[in-house]
Structure 1
Amino acid sequence: MNFNASRNVGQAGGLRKAKRVSDVAAMGAPAPQPPAYSPAPGFSPAPSYSPTFGAPPHQEGIQLDAGQDFGAPQQPPNYGYMGGYPQSPMAAMASPGQIGSMLQQPVVQDMALQYGNQLAAAGREAVQREIGRYVPVARLRYYFAVDTRYVLRKLMLILFPYTHKEWMVKYDQESPVQPRYDLNAPDLYLPAMGYVTYVLLAGFMLGLQHRFSPEQIGMQASSALAYIVFEMLVYTVTLYVTHTHTSLRTLDLLAYSGYKYTAMIAGLLAALLAGRTGYYSVLAYCSVALSYFLVKTLRVQVLAGAGAAPSPPAAAAPYGYGAPYAGAHNPYADSYKPAGGTKRRVYFLLFVAITQPLLCWWLTYHLVPAPVPVATR
């Protein structure tokens, strides 16, 4: 409502009544008034303090970014390996080109190499653990620790054992010396190579007689392997039934019984050169030499501790690497038993020495070519 003082003065000089302006549009819309503040019951507002250090921040000329929307919801972060991938499950699959480029990075290749090495090491340990439960791998390493010099000297010892004097196996403290350092130590290299050579030579001789076939080679190999297993069973059962305790292990018996392939190969080579006469002559000599070698070698271990063993002479030099003499405790044995059963030990020794030449003849006589009959006129 507008008030005009000049209009309220009448013609007679008196005051007249003011008129109400009804045109609100000409006056403009009134400013909206905020609602009255009514505090809750029991609420005491904090006392207001007047600013003492200039104007508030919003009045000090600070320019605010009008484009910032503080009320918009915040987008979830992307935790993918590479930025820019969509978050939908179907679109999260990378293309083959992106996968190939990622695999070519040095960091990824190093991680893959390390992971592969760890898997290979774990697999190797698992295989060794499972094999070690059935096959004594650590012991087999000892029996194959040979060199060329040892192989040549061992062959000469088996074929010509009569000039050899020292048959004691040497020891390094409580463990036996490896075969490459001790000629008397048993090994499995010569038996293994002798077995393979025997099978190949048998196939060659069958081919000369026009009897060769793949089945014959398989029969020769399987029969030789079956006989060696049968020998081990017979020797083990004999020692168990007779309660004969020796310092021999199963692998030792396998090594000593495998030395017969040397005599067998020598007899077959003689048969190729001189026929049946040369075969029986060479086989007879090799059989005697093999029996002598086995008796001298096994006597130390089979008769160890049996009865009262004579003490070594004081003037004699001690055996190599501090090894004890024959009557002392053999640390190479699995367990040491008190002395006793001398006769059983001697019988077992003679049984081994006799069966080896018989097996040499049994496994080779059918390979010798028959004599050619002389034509009569």
Structure 2
Amino acid sequence: MQRPTYGQSPPLHHPVPQHVSTVPQLRSPPPPTAQPQSHGYDGSPYPQQQQQAPQGGNMFGQYGNFMNDPAAQIASQFGQTAFRQGQDYLEKNVNRFVNVSALKHYFNVTNSYVINKLFLVLFPWRHKPWTRRQASGAGAGGQEAWLYLPPRDDINSPDMYIPVMSIVTYVFLRTLIAGLQGEFQPELFGYIATKAIVVVALEILGLRVGCYLLSISNESQLLDLMAYSGYKFVGMIVTIAISEIFNWGKGTGGWVGWTLFIYTFLANSLFLMRSLKYVLLPENNNDSRGPMQTMHPLDSRAKRSQRTQFLFAYSYIVQALFMWILCRP
């Protein structure tokens, strides 16, 4: 039996691993799912993050290439041109019936104006003065002209915001009351809104006919009359809401409802008598500064008396009839 040489150890007592180079591979092997997507291994311990970065870059690169595509730029220019042409066409056709630039004047309001105006409509007894304020501005041909201030700068100026919101509130209030009484139907929205719009349309038509017969012409007459015809809904909303809260009758039923109806009717009538005076009873017909002009500069005493009677009939008789119709359940 031969003695073992120097450097050899018994194989059964002290085994020594023969493949030392395979041990570092057990520390951080790459994920199996990332191997099919990898394009190579550069020795970094985060191969998966290195693969996601090129993907994101490719995505933004494709998006940038799409925006730089000549076909996409042509389509974008074509869309912008079509939008401008459509906007111009709409403005030209709408301006045939409604002056959009003049209509913006009636929606130029503030929160303080709305609160003060509501208080004025409901409590007009001690308000003074009622004259609308004017300011100088550039008129036709570049000449100096005197124009009425917008509602936000003048409490006596008519606006469209309160009438429009009052009509919408009136429709929803009447529908809500019908629902609380178990009488709600989807058709109520259309029925109540149609009745309100028809009443306002008839009122404006009557005013226009009266102004034509009395030879009254105003540059902003139609929009002013539309605004004033909607203020009655403020009083009707108060009347209907308080009557239903106290549960004394429906609409204007009961002595509480009738008391509120009479008060809001008188307040609205006085408000219209004072406010429409500058339209139906102009004081300075020869004053070229103001926007109010009449067909006959020198009104006779008989013509002024007719206008006063027409204003009284509209403010009291017509308003009483229409407010009673709208307050009925």
TM-score normalized by the length of structure 2: 0.69
1:107 Cα offset (Å): 5.3
User: Which amino acid in 1 is paired with 2:102?
Assistant: R
Could you tell me which runs of 5 or more consecutive residues in structure 2 were left unpaired when the two chains were aligned: 1-61, 137-145, 249-253
Q: Is the 8 A contact 2:243 2:257 kept in 1?
A: yes
1:224 Cα offset (Å): 0.9
Q: Deviations over 1:294-342 (max 9, x none)?
A: 111112332113xxx7xxxxxxxxxxxxxxxx98456333656413110
- 2: CA distance, partners of 1:144 / 1:161: 22
| Structure 1 segment 200-349 matched on structure 2, within 5 A | 200-245=172-217, 249-274=221-246, 275=248, 276-305=254-283, 328-329=287-288, 331-333=290-292, 337-340=296-299, 341-349=303-311
- 1: CA distance, partners of 2:215 / 2:200: 23
1:115 Cα offset (Å): 3.2
The answer for the alignment partner of 2:327 in structure 1 is 364
- 1: CA distance, partners of 2:67 / 2:108: 46
After superposition, the CA RMSD in angstroms is 2.4
Distance 1:196 1:248, change over 3 A: same
- 2: CA distance, partners of 1:363 / 1:101: 60
State the percentage of identical aligned residues: 30
Distance 1:207 1:283, change over 3 A: same
- 2: CA distance, partners of 1:334 / 1:175: 13
Number of aligned residue pairs = 248
Bigger radius of gyration among the two: 1
| Structure 1 segment 37-116 matched on structure 2, within 5 A | 104=66, 106=68, 108=70, 109-116=72-79
1:277 Cα offset (Å): 2.5
- 2: CA distance, partners of 1:190 / 1:156: 12
- The yes-or-no answer on 1:351 pairing with 2:313 is yes
Q: Is the 8 A contact 2:211 2:280 kept in 1?
A: no
Q: Deviations over 1:250-270 (max 9, x none)?
A: 111111111000011010011
Q: Is the 8 A contact 1:158 1:290 kept in 2?
A: yes
| Structure 1 segment 159-178 matched on structure 2, within 5 A | 159-173=122-136, 174-178=146-150
Q: Deviations over 1:151-210 (max 9, x none)?
A: 101000001112211111111212211111111011111110010000000101112222
The answer for the alignment partner of 2:51 in structure 1 is none
1:114 Cα offset (Å): 3.1
- 2: CA distance, partners of 1:258 / 1:353: 13
Could you tell me which runs of 5 or more consecutive residues in structure 1 were left unpaired when the two chains were aligned: 1-99, 310-325, 368-377
Distance 1:358 1:245, change over 3 A: same
What SS is found at the alignment partner of 1:216? Answer: helix
- 2: CA distance, partners of 1:129 / 1:103: 39
Q: Deviations over 1:186-243 (max 9, x none)?
A: 1111110010000000101112222211122211110111111111111111222343
Q: Is the 8 A contact 1:191 1:261 kept in 2?
A: yes
1:147 Cα offset (Å): 1.4
As a proportion of its length, which structure holds more helix?
Answer: 2
User: Which amino acid in 2 is paired with 1:194?
Assistant: S
What SS is found at the alignment partner of 1:363? Answer: helix
